[in-house]
Amino acid sequence: MRGVQVFGGWVARGALAGTAAVLLLVGVGIGGAVARDGAVQPVRQVRSVPVSVKAVALTFDDGPSPTYTPAILDLLKEYGAKATFFVIGREIMRYPRIVRQELQAGMEVGNHGMHHVALKGLDPTAIAADVLPVERAITAISGNRPTLYRLPKGVGDARALRTLSDMGYAVVYWSVDAHDYLPRTAGAIASQVLREVRPGSIVIFHDAGGNRQPTVDALKLLLPRLRAEGYQLVTVSQLMELARNAS
Ligand SMILES: [Zn+2]
């Protein structure tokens, strides 16, 4: 049986039937925060989302970039697509205007840390020191605090996950890696994503941190194909909402 893909393995779909909260707030046995009512809150992690409609979430890490992000936004708009940008704090400080453009275009903006340091091995105070300035910067621009966090370098540990959960974040992984941080052609990036994408996939790209022109060019190939195949292109929160509505 194939179900929700979570950090550490698969959870059978049947085991989650009718429990939207669990569906989206999948714990992996590492404990969780204790709410005011005494209930233990599972650490929320999501890698892909079981949806009954053809929808996927494209995500872009490490920006904003003045070189690539505006081009990506133009393409997303052209194809009626929404996406999620996991931004780095130090880049927000340099290019707040681009984060504003992302939000004005209806994109979701998530937290990717202040300095892109892996949270593994850090204590909660150090984690908060890296996460909160980004949260404040995004909130100052959008008026809403971000609810999604992506681990820099994809690396965390139980303490980091619990700390992020305590801070109100869902930790977002991915089920399709475009591998666009490697030297690859646009065609290779696009064909890999098209081969692996499924309804409910979360796809990771990068809009900064290197030459991302192949990523931009891959989107020119991918976006029309995904739309032709009937995919809605939504933010991560919208994808989770689609699953919630279907349950
Ligand atoms: Zn990153």
pLDDT computed for residue 3 by the predictor: 39
Q: Which residue has the tokens 């939000």?
A: 103
Nearest to 82 by CA among 66, 106, 64, 117: 106
Distance 112 CA to ligand 1 centre (A): 7
Mean pLDDT of the chain: 87
What confidence tier does 35 reach under pLDDT thresholds 50, 70, 90?
Answer: low
Q: Is the pLDDT of residue 10 over 90?
A: no
> What CA–CA distance (Å, rounded) separates 82 from 142?
16
Cα angle for residues 237, 212, 198 (degrees, 5° grid): 40
pLDDT band at 39 (very low <50, low <70, confident <90, very high): low
Provide the 3-class DSSP secondary structure of residue 149. strand
Domains of the chain in sequence order: 52-233 (3.20.20.370)
Known catalytic membership, residue 206: yes
Complete DSSP assignment for 73-135: HHHHHHTT---EEEE-HHHHHH-HHHHHHHHHTT-EEEE--SS----TT--HHHHHHHHHHHH
Q: Give the pLDDT band (50/70/90) at residue 204.
A: very high
* Confidence band for 109, pLDDT divided at 50, 70 and 90: very high
Is 61 considered catalytic here?
yes
* Weakest-pLDDT range from 14-28, 43-57, 101-115, 127-141: 14-28
- What interhelical angle do 213-228 and 186-196 show, nearest 10? 40
Distance, CA 37 to ligand 1 centroid (Å)? Answer: 35
Once rounded to an integer, what is the mean pLDDT over residues 149-162?
95
